[in-house]
Structure 1
Amino acid sequence: MTTMSICLLWLIVVIVYDFRERRIPNWLVLAGATAALAALAYGIQPFGINWASALLGAGVGFGFLLLFYAFGLMGAGDVKFAGALGLWMGVSDLIPIWISASLMACAHSVLWLTLKGRPFFPRLAFLAFLLTGPFRTSEAGTPTRRPRVIPYAAYLALAAAAWMVWGRQS
């Protein structure tokens, strides 16, 4: 299995996990970061970046999204995932990935707001559930956390996977 396949598999797991659970656990972020560091250490980094570019990508990915977390606009898992993704991609590839992911998240939020404010047909009920994700309640029936609507890490991973397949061809 090549390191590019390992990265792609990690991205797929992140996409599925974030769409289903609307969170990214630390073990998943650490698995991706560890694999990226191992690829760098053994000189088999699939995207041709060096240590400086990888560490800069991790720092920029983590630091930039940390601002959104500080204002309560993003979850901590999204921030940590962006840092691990920066280790794989480097800062130069992270910028088009961010732009693509942000456009997908914007489309998601516009569609969610449209469906949220209107009664919808039964066929759209499943789409509304996909857009809002699971909403957990405690045993008393009160919400346990603020609902997380936008799975931003999933969109980052989806954009990164697309970038790996189509964007890096030159």
Structure 2
Amino acid sequence: MRSVCLIWLLFVAVYDFRQRRVPNWLVLAGAALALAALALEMQPFDIGWTTAFTAAAVAFGVLLLLYAVGFMGAGDVKFAAALGLWVGLSALLPIWIVGSILAGVHSTLFLALQRWPVFPRLSLMLLGRTHAAAIDNGNAAPKRRRLVVPYAAYLALATAAWMVWGRQS
């Protein structure tokens, strides 16, 4: 089941990096797989139902507050809840910290490239495929571009790193 989780994380990361959104079907698939792993007692990280549901509720609740103030999208919130079903409460804090650092680096690099346009293509890549294509086609060229950080992708990458290097089992 560990490989199933990694494949799901890969799909989330690729989708979020390319489209800057995480579709509901992908979140629901991950949640269903996590629940199936729990039901079949094949949970790869040795957590139980209580730990999984507590982690999902905490992840959803904390990120819902950030969504409410406009810091992230709804897909990020739902993905974090599904992720909590997989990894449990004790893994969420290090995953959030690493994912947030990666997202912060993304934002800082984008802002630096906006101020000093040394590599304009890299700036467009950080902006996202959909937004960059619109700007390339001349459809939208605002003075200040709104950055949409693929937070779920960075959480997925942080989780994959935790799975590979952070666990001692």
Give TM-score, length-normalised by structure 1.
Answer: 0.89
Partner of 1:153: 152
Q: Give unmatched runs, 5+ long, in structure 1.
A: none
Q: Does the 8 Å CA contact 1:47/1:89 hold for their aligned counterparts?
A: yes
Counterpart of 2:31 in 1: which secondary structure? helix
Partner of 2:36: 38
Superposed, 1:4-15 pairs within 5 Å as 4-15=2-13
Q: Does the 8 Å CA contact 1:101/1:155 hold for their aligned counterparts?
A: yes
Which one of 120, 125, 128 corresponds to residue 123 of structure 2? 128
Counterpart of 2:153 in 1: which secondary structure? helix
Partner amino acid, structure 1, of 2:160: A
Alpha-carbon displacement from aligned partner over 1:81-131 (angstroms, at most 9, x marks no partner): 0000000000100110000001111111111110012232xxx23311221
Give TM-score, length-normalised by structure 2.
Answer: 0.90
Structure 1 residue 148: deviation in Å?
A: 4.5
Partner amino acid, structure 2, of 1:155: Y
Q: Percent identity?
A: 61
CA distance in 1, matches of 2:147, 2:115: 17
Alpha-carbon displacement from aligned partner over 1:27-46 (angstroms, at most 9, x marks no partner): 00000000000000010000
CA distance in 2, matches of 1:46, 1:80: 21
Counterpart of 1:43 in 2: which secondary structure? coil
Q: CA RMSD in A?
A: 1.7
- Dislocated runs of 4+, deviation >3 Å: none
